[in-house]
């Protein structure tokens, strides 16, 4: 992936920028030593690295505002960073940028059970939001797989999803308000403890804008009471197409599971070797989870099993206890780790209409043969979000590029069948140059026009989301003006 050439004029101002930042932040919150800034050189897309010019760790909204105002005045690009778990390179710095990390902002500001909301600083991790309310039986629904580490700030930036979004939605459906700092330092409040913020849906626009519109420092989130219980059923099939038809029949029957997970044979084989979850060796495996009281769960699982039986499964295993549930989930939860044992992998994130699943899997298989790279498929089958894991060898020259080419072909296929490039990871730099595949020039211009309103100088995370050729004239206005 190409990144814009760092602006030497900005780098030449480093000493002055550091001095001004030190004027508004505690000494230890401004990191500018070249060894120390390496800690911020990449996020979870580790193939791309570049230390920032400076990293700052503000503790309050006012400090964030001061930092942004200074960077705005100095014309320095700012890359906001949550916990750095982005798989898309959303927090990748450039050498002329300031990384603004929100890690020190992790307080719970207010917990309000009566109104079922929690207000937090956005450096707080996803799981610790649930941690703050679970002793009272509540939880925060979006559950990205990095939830132990990922920050709410990043969840909002990427509109993160998770395995349970078929029932509970993704971040945007659970976000009720934000305090956000614009690039010029202005602090804006949108929404709050009430449903449906007034006026234009700025909240919906901010969520998923990949840190390009502002830095969100506080969030009001919807919390829910936990269900009485949850249990899955595991169903194995000898054919992908049949598994796909089974998913469709379950949904049509009026059962709304909280999760429908799908794994294909390469993935089943890898996880079995790694986690020994006792999965059947078959072409396709479904894990369908439902919630409610024990009796309600039994009723729903019986309905699902009845539908599955019509499709001649090779295995059907209803969980009867917490231990059995854990065993069924064990393989799925270790799928990424299992694939990582075999080799380096790239995790894709395209979404497809559920009806296209068999065709897409067949085509991915053909591409795998063509590129000579193995691929395993994990899939949130209820909502169409695929996670093909392409195996490659990072130490073998040319393998990463080959893998990226393969990945790009898969994502183009997702768009071709009526889906999209990314379901929950975001565009970042990873899918930036594929945006032309999904969007025409007018579509991209409409989106970039939004950034023009929030950040006219294009200083916030400027080299992400939009193909560099499409955003070039906007990004270079600032340079030309100097």
Partner 1 sequence: MGITSEEALVDAVKAARGPVAVQGGGTRGVPAVGDVLSVAGLNGITLYEPGALTVVAQAGTPVADIEAALAKENQRLAFEPMDHRSLLGTTGEPTIGGVMAANVSGPRRISVGAARDFLLGVRFVDGRGAVIKNGGRVMKNVTGYDLVKLMAGSYGTLGVLSEVSLKVLPRPETQATLVLHGLNDAHGIAALSQALCSPFEVTGAAHSPTDQKTMLRIEGFETSVAYRLGRLRDLLATTGAEMDVHTAKASEDMWHKTRDVAAFQNQEGDIWRVSCKPSDGPALAAGSGAQEWFYDWAGGLIWLRAAPGHDLRSGLGLFDGHATLVRADVQTKARLGMFHPETAGVARLTAGLRAQFDPKGIFNAGLMEQAA
The torsion defined by the Cα of 117, 120, 122 and 124, in degrees rounded to 10, comes to -110
* CB nearer to partner 1: pick between 115 and 341: 115
Report if residue 422 touches partner 1, rule: CB under 8 A.
yes
* CB nearer to partner 1: pick between 115 and 312: 115
* CB nearer to partner 1: pick between 379 and 406: 379
According to CB under 8 A, which residues from 287 to 316 bind partner 1?
292-293, 295-296, 299-300
Contact residue for partner 1 among 258, 439, 458, 470 (CB under 8 A): 439
Could you tell me the CA-to-CA distances from 71 to 31, 241, 322 in Å, in that order?
15, 54, 52
According to CB under 8 A, which residues from 251 to 280 bind partner 1?
251-256
Encode the chain in three state secondary structure: CCCCCCCHHHHHCHHHHHHHHHCCCCHHHEECCCCHHHHHCCCCCCCCCCCCCEEECCCCHHHHHHHHHHHHHHCCCEEEECCCCCCCCCCCCCCCCEEEECCCCCCEEEEECCCCEEEEECCCEHHHHHHHHHHHCEECCCCCCCCCCCEHHHHHHHCCCCCCHHHHCCHHHCEEEEEEECCCCCEEEEECCCCCCCCCCHHHHHCCCCCCCCEEEEEEEECEECCCCEEEEEEEECCHHHHHHHHHHHHHCCCCCCEEEEEEHHHHHHHHHHHCCCCCCCCEEEEEEEECCHHHHHHHHHHHHHHHHCCCCCEEEECCCHHHHHHHHHHHHCHHHHHHHHCEEEECCCECCHHHHHHHHHHHHHHHHHHCCCEEEEEECCCCEEEEEEEECCCCCCHHHHHHHHHHHHHHHHHHCCCECCCCCCCCCCCHHHHHHHCCHHHHHHHHHHHHHHCCCCCECCCCCCCHHHHHHHHCHHHHHC
- The answer to whether the beta carbons of residues 20 and 74 sit under 8 Å apart is yes
Report if residue 91 touches partner 1, rule: CB under 8 A.
no
Contact residue for partner 1 among 442, 480, 481, 482 (CB under 8 A): 442
* CB nearer to partner 1: pick between 189 and 306: 189
Least Å distance, CB 14 to partner 1, is 31
Query: Cα–Cα distance between 34 and 22 in angstroms, integer?
Result: 17
Q: Convert residues 328-367 into a mask of x (bound to partner 1 by CB under 8 A) and - (unbound).
A: -----------------------xxxxx------------
Report if residue 189 touches partner 1, rule: CB under 8 A.
yes
* Site size with partner 1, rule: CB under 8 A: 97
* CB nearer to partner 1: pick between 50 and 448: 448
Contact residue for partner 1 among 120, 207, 346, 373 (CB under 8 A): 207
The torsion defined by the Cα of 56, 70, 108 and 86, in degrees rounded to 10, comes to -50
Report if residue 145 touches partner 1, rule: CB under 8 A.
no
* CB nearer to partner 1: pick between 53 and 410: 410
Least Å distance, CB 255 to partner 1, is 7
- The answer to whether the beta carbons of residues 190 and 252 sit under 8 Å apart is no
Q: Which stretch binds partner 1 (CB under 8 A): 7-15, 97-105, 266-274, 431-439?
A: 431-439
Contact residue for partner 1 among 78, 197, 282, 459 (CB under 8 A): 197
* CB nearer to partner 1: pick between 23 and 418: 418
Report if residue 235 touches partner 1, rule: CB under 8 A.
no
* CB nearer to partner 1: pick between 36 and 294: 294
- The answer to whether the beta carbons of residues 29 and 56 sit under 8 Å apart is yes
Least Å distance, CB 284 to partner 1, is 16
According to CB under 8 A, which residues from 165 to 184 bind partner 1?
165-166, 169-170, 172-173, 182
Least Å distance, CB 191 to partner 1, is 9
Could you tell me the CA-to-CA distances from 227 to 78, 139, 294 in Å, in that order?
41, 10, 11
* CB nearer to partner 1: pick between 204 and 280: 204
* CB nearer to partner 1: pick between 236 and 426: 426
Token pair, residue 207, equals 């969520």
Contact residue for partner 1 among 137, 278, 337, 372 (CB under 8 A): 137
Q: Which stretch binds partner 1 (CB under 8 A): 78-86, 244-252, 313-321, 361-369?
A: 244-252
Report if residue 219 touches partner 1, rule: CB under 8 A.
no
Report if residue 154 touches partner 1, rule: CB under 8 A.
no
According to CB under 8 A, which residues from 363 to 382 bind partner 1?
380
- Residues in the chain, overall count: 482
* CB nearer to partner 1: pick between 13 and 116: 116
* CB nearer to partner 1: pick between 39 and 187: 187
Least Å distance, CB 439 to partner 1, is 6
Least Å distance, CB 359 to partner 1, is 14
Least Å distance, CB 8 to partner 1, is 31
């Amino acid at each position: 992936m190409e990144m814009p050439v760092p602006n030497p004029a900005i780098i030449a101002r480093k000493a002055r920028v550091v001095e001004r930042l030190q004027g508004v932040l505690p000494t230890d919150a401004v990191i500018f030593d070249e060894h120390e800034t390496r800690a911020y050189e990449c996020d979870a897309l580790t193939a791309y690295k570049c230390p920032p010019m400076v990293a700052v760790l503000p503790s309050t909204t006012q400090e964030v505002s001061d930092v942004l105002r200074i960077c705005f005045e100095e014309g320095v690009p700012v890359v906001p960073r949550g916990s750095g778990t982005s798989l898309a390179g959303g927090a990748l710095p450039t050498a002329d940028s300031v990384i603004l990390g929100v890690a020190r902002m992790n307080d719970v500001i207010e917990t309000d059970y009566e109104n079922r909301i929690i207000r937090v600083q956005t450096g707080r991790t996803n799981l610790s939001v649930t941690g703050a309310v679970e002793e009272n039986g509540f939880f925060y629904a979006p559950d990205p797989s990095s939830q132990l580490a990922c920050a709410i700030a990043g969840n909002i930036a990427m509109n993160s999803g998770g395995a349970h979004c078929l029932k509970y939605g993704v971040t945007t459906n659970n976000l009720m308000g934000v305090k956000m700092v614009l690039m010029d330092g202005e602090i804006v409040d949108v929404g709050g403890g009430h449903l449906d913020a007034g006026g234009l849906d700025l909240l919906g626009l901010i969520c998923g804008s990949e840190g390009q519109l502002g830095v969100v420092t506080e969030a009001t989130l919807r919390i829910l009471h936990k269900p009485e219980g949850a249990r899955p059923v595991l169903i194995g099939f000898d054919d992908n197409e049949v598994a796909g038809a089974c998913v469709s029949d379950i949904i049509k029957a009026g059962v709304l599971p909280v999760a429908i997970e799908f794994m294909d044979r390469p993935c089943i084989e890898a996880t079995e070797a790694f986690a020994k979850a006792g999965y059947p060796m078959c072409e396709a495996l479904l894990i369908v989870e439902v919630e409610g009281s024990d009796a309600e769960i039994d009723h729903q699982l019986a309905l699902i099993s009845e539908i599955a039986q019509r499709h001649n499964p090779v295995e059907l295993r209803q969980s009867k206890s917490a231990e059995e549930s854990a065993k069924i989930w064990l393989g799925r939860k270790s799928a990424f780790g299992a694939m990582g044992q075999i080799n380096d992998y790239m995790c894709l994130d395209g979404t497809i209409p559920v009806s296209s699943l068999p065709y897409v899997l067949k085509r991915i298989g053909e591409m795998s043969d063509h590129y000579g790279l193995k691929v395993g498929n994990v899939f949130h089958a209820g909502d169409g979000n695929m996670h093909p894991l392409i195996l490659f060898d990072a130490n073998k020259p040319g393998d990463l590029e080959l893998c990226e080419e393969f990945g790009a072909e898969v994502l183009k296929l997702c768009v071709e069948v009526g889906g999209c490039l990314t379901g929950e990871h975001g565009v970042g730099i990873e899918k930036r140059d594929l945006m032309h595949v999904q969007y025409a020039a007018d579509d991209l211009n409409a989106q970039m026009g939004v950034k023009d309103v929030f950040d006219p100088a294009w200083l916030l995370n400027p080299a992400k989301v939009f193909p560099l050729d499409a955003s070039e004239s906007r990004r270079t206005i600032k340079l030309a003006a100097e």
